[in-house]
Chains A and B, each alone.
Chain A
Amino acid sequence: GIQVEQSPPDLILQEGANSTLRCNFSDSVNNLQWFHQNPWGQLINLFYIPSGTKQNGRLSATTVATERYSLLYISSSQTTDSGVYFCAVVRRDSWGKLQFGAGTQVVVTP
């Protein structure tokens, strides 16, 4: 199956700092999504971004499908940004199978 690698595995930030999370994938994809799992376990869809760039408030994401990576930017981080960020992809010709990476654990300290 497709390999989804996220880096870094862990990130500790001071409130107000900016950060970049990376997702590399091993095969062509037609679907890529970013999720945030908060400390209560809820999984929130942040972006549906098979290609291009999108912004949502302090978060933005860029996917370069031809080079098989995606980036998630967190600006002016807040303690509520803490949690695990997952990248998930659907390999071309594997309809429906959204495969998740291992995630980046983010802790934002006051």
Chain B
Amino acid sequence: DSGVTQTPKHLITATGQRVTLRCSPRSGDLSVYWYQQSLDQGLQFLIQYYNGEERAKGNILERFSAQQFPDLHSELNLSSLELGDSALYFCASSVDAEVSPLHFGNGTRLTVT
């Protein structure tokens, strides 16, 4: 067990809908990262938050947004969902901002129908 908790494990929703994925980092970790894993794109970095502030941004669509709360948990919001958004979404955490060993949660599998 990595200590990173993601909910829900599975999510099935329709095109055009909005969903929220939740992540609790390991105790003591200040950075949270979001990744998307799909068959055609592989593991893609979306965004990083460090101690509540956005730190680095990757290939995150404008329809997607994230935030990190004062208790350090993070949420990834996906809106106007399309079929192509179906993927495994991972959250990861690390102690500091510099991607010291990264520890991943078990992921949320999103299926858009």
Contacts and interface: CB of A to CB of B under 8 A. Distances in A.
Asked if A pairs with B, the answer is: yes
B45 A45 contact: no
A31 B99 contact: yes
A30 B97 CA distance: 13
A83 to B, nearest CB: 13
B111 interface: no
22 contacts: A31-B98, A33-B101, A33-B102, A42-B104, A42-B106, A45-B2, A45-B101, A45-B103, A45-B104, A48-B101, A86-B43, A96-B33, A96-B56, A97-B45, A97-B48, A97-B58, A98-B33, A98-B45, A98-B99, A98-B102, A100-B43, A100-B44
Interface of A: 30-31, 33, 35, 41-45, 48, 86, 88, 90, 94-100, 102-103
Interface of B: 2, 31, 33, 42-45, 48, 50, 55-56, 58, 88, 90, 92, 97-104, 106-107
A103 B43 CA distance: 10
A35 B99 CA distance: 14
A102 B102 contact: no
Given A31-B99, A95-B98, 6 more contacts: A33-B102, A42-B107, A43-B104, A48-B100, A96-B97, A97-B58
B104 A95 contact: no
Given A31-B98, A90-B99, A99 B104 contact: no
Contacts of B42: 100, 102-103
A99 B9 CA distance: 24
Contacts of B56: 94-97
Contacts of A30: 98
Nearest to B88: A41
Of all A-B residue pairs in the complex, the 5 with the closest CB atoms, nearest first, are: A96-B56, A43-B104, A100-B43, A48-B101, A96-B48
Given A86-B43, A100-B42, A95 B97 contact: yes
